[in-house]
Structure 1
Amino acid sequence: MTTFSRRLKEARKARGFSQERLGIEAGIEPATASARMSQYEKGVHLPGESIVKQIATVLDLPVAYFYCANDDEAHLLQCFHCLKQDDRKQVVDLAESLAFSQ
């Protein structure tokens, strides 16, 4: 199982989507939505960039979340994605001050 497939399955389940429903809402043909999502989750096939963007939009996650090898970084991206623009700036400023103060 790839990092992408693991994160996809976890995110789908956390948001209560069936494979079929997520596939359909991401723009996959209803007749093949469940099978394609299953293949993505098993790591048999990887979706193209446009499908990944659509899946991320449906699940309200940043695209990069699916590719982070580190779970902490993925969680941080997920949290950052949920912030308003002003709050994002504060987080970036704080991160810069912590990262470069050493």
Structure 2
Amino acid sequence: MSLQNPIPIRLKEARKKVTLSQKALGIRIGIDESSASARMNQYEKGKHAPDIQTLKLIAEELDVPLNYFFCEEESSAKLACLIAKLSEEERQELINKLSGSEES
């Protein structure tokens, strides 16, 4: 069983959610205007993978956590986005709740 790279799927999904074109996203993260569209297209098609620094810039621009791009299941991707919006205190509460070690 071969695992599909989740990055192209998540990238396209997040970009469309914020209604940015491939070119606009590429330009916003600092790719030259003449190659921005083609490069983003290659990332979304899985022909090339962005390096981690580029992926961080994309995540910031699309307002998703970096780990979102590595989620294979849709539910994990949604959880990653929701958890990223929580405060540190709220995250700790969630960890406690999920691990069954909630203090009463």
Q: CA deviation at 1:32?
A: 0.9
- Among candidates 70, 92, 96, match of residue 93 of structure 1: 96
Q: Percent identity?
A: 40
Residue aligning to 2:23: 20
Rounded to whole Å, the distance in 1 between the matches of 2:5 and 2:40 is 14
- Among candidates 55, 61, 64, match of residue 61 of structure 1: 64
Q: CA deviation at 1:26?
A: 1.4
- Among candidates 34, 48, 52, match of residue 31 of structure 1: 34
Residue aligning to 1:48: 51
The one-letter amino acid paired with 2:24 is R
- Does the alignment pair 1:79 with 2:98? no
Q: CA deviation at 1:91?
A: 1.6
Rounded to whole Å, the distance in 2 between the matches of 1:87 and 1:6 is 29
How many aligned positions are there? Answer: 98
Structure 2: which 5+ runs fail to align?
Answer: none
Rounded to whole Å, the distance in 2 between the matches of 1:55 and 1:66 is 10
TM-score, length-scaled by structure 1: 0.87
Q: CA deviation at 1:45?
A: 0.5
The one-letter amino acid paired with 1:73 is S
Rounded to whole Å, the distance in 2 between the matches of 1:2 and 1:47 is 12
Rounded to whole Å, the distance in 1 between the matches of 2:39 and 2:73 is 26
Q: CA deviation at 1:64?
A: 0.9
Q: CA deviation at 1:53?
A: 0.5
Rounded to whole Å, the distance in 2 between the matches of 1:24 and 1:86 is 36
Residue aligning to 2:11: 8
The one-letter amino acid paired with 2:5 is T
The one-letter amino acid paired with 1:48 is D
The one-letter amino acid paired with 1:32 is S
